[in-house]
Amino acid sequence: MRNKKIKIKPIRIKATFIIYLLVFLLLSVQLFRRMVIQGEFLGNKAERQFINEAKISPKRGSILDRNGRELAVSADVYKVNLDLLAMQEYCVRYKRTKEEVSEEISEALSIDNNKVISMLDKTDNNGRLLRGMTLERKIEKDKIDKLREIRKTKRYNFMIIENDSTRLYPNNNFLAHALGIVDLEGEGVFGLEKYYDKELMGLSGIRIAELDKNASELPYEDVVYTEAVNGKDVILTIDENIQYIAQTIADKALKDTKAKGVTIIVTNPRNGEVLAMVNKPDFNLNDPRMGIVDNERLQQLWRNKAVNDVFEPGSTFKITTISAALEEKVTFVNDDFYCNGFTIVNGTKLKCWKETGHGAEKLIDILENSCNPGFIELGRRIGQERLNKYIYDFGFGKPSGIDLTGEASGIIKPTDQMTDLDLATISFGQTDAASPIQILAALNTIMNDGIYSTPHLMKEIVGADKNGGITVSKPYEEKNQRQVISKVTSNSVAKMLEETVSKGSGKQAYIEGLGIAGKTGTAQKAKIGGKGYVEGKYIASFIGAAPYDNPKISVFVSIDEPEGEHFGGVIASPVAKELFQQIFNQMAINPVKQ
Closest CA to 149 of 212, 96, 105: 105
Amino acid at position 286, single letter:
N
Distance CA 196, CA 459 (A): 12
Distance CA 461, CA 420 (A): 49
Host H or E run for residue 164: strand 159-168
User: CA angle at residue 359 from 353 to 364, to 5 degrees?
Assistant: 80
Strand-strand pairing, 274-280 and 70-82: unpaired
DSSP 500-537: HHHTSTTGGG--TTT--EEEEEEEEEEPTTSSSEEEEE
Q: Are 518 and 494 in contact (CB under 8 A)?
A: no
Distance CA 55, CA 225 (A): 10
Amino acid at position 280, single letter:
K
Q: Are 147 and 186 in contact (CB under 8 A)?
A: no
Amino acid at position 225, single letter:
Y
DSSP 327-366: HTTS--TT-EEEESSEEEETTEEEE-SSTT--EEEEHHHH
| Per-residue H/E/C for 439-456 | HHHHHHHHHCCCEECCCE
Give, as one character, the DSSP assignment of residue 497: H
- Gyration radius of the chain over CA positions: 35
Distance CA 339, CA 515 (A): 28
Task: Please state, as a whole number, how many other Cβ atoms lie within 10 Å of the Cβ of residue 123.
Answer: 12
Distance CA 347, CA 161 (A): 76
Distance CA 382, CA 387 (A): 6
Closest CA to 86 of 42, 120, 126: 120
| Active-site residue set | 315
**Cis amide leading into 313 (omega within 30):** no
User: Assign residue 180 a region: left if phi > 0, alpha if psi is -120 to 50, beta otherwise?
Assistant: left
Buried b / exposed e along 347-364 (16+ C-beta atoms within 10 A):
eeebebbeeebbeebebb
Q: Where are the beta strands (DSSP E) in 174-317?
A: 205-210, 224-226, 233-236, 261-267, 274-280
Closest CA to 114 of 123, 105, 125: 105
Distance CA 463, CA 465 (A): 7
Task: Please state, as a whole number, how many other Cβ atoms lie within 10 Å of the Cβ of residue 271.
Answer: 17
